[in-house]
Amino acid sequence: MNDNKDIHRYDDIINLPHHRSATRPHMSNYDRAAQFSPFAALTGHDEAIKETARLTDRRVELDEYTKEDLNSKLQIIGDNPGTEVTITYFQPDEKKSGGAYLTITGCVKRIDEYEQTVVFTDRTAIPIDQISEIESELFRGLELFDL
């Protein structure tokens, strides 16, 4: 007998029209669903974790022999504009300590002594104090400081 009572429990309201508020506008199904979607309590947290996990290299300090070798090579390049060289240099990271070693190959336009940069024909400028290695056909057969 209880089962029969439960079946007919809402018979008095089942066919009534759906209530619409007279003071509030009707909410679309999209907006109604949005209120139940998950929200990000920690906005930017994923980006912060990725940035922390990103690896950087530590800059290696050059010894005096390597610095003299680089200075000799820069002098030769300065005397021979248009020389194609491959330069490996350290680029400090903008967001955290360390950075990355990059290698670029191109023709040197000039060495800017005021700015202390090596300027390539494509206008790329590399700070001289960040250079760790210079290679070129121009140095073949020259006796520089070999390590």
What integer best gives the mean pLDDT of the chain? 84
Q: Supply the pLDDT for residue 130.
A: 94
Q: Supply the pLDDT for residue 146.
A: 47
In this model, does residue 97 exceed pLDDT 70?
yes
In this model, does residue 68 exceed pLDDT 90?
yes
Give me 138's structure tokens. Answer: 């121009």
Q: Which residues of 109-144 are buried (b: 16+ CB within 10 A; e: fewer)?
A: bebeeeeebbbbeeeeebebebbbebebebbeeeee
- The segment with the largest mean pLDDT, out of 15-29, 32-46, 73-87, is 73-87
Provide the whole-model pTM.
0.61
Q: Supply the pLDDT for residue 56.
A: 75
Better pLDDT: 56 or 107: 107
The 8 Å CB, 24+ separation contacts for 102-110 are 107/82, 107/83, 108/77, 108/81, 108/82, 108/83, 108/84, 109/81, 109/82, 110/78, 110/81
Give me 20's structure tokens. Answer: 């619409």
Query: Residue 19's pLDDT band (boundaries 50, 70, 90)?
Result: confident
Kindly report the CA angle at 93 between 90 and 96, in degrees rounded to 5?
A: 135
Q: Supply the pLDDT for residue 40.
A: 64
Mean pLDDT over 78-99 rounds to 88
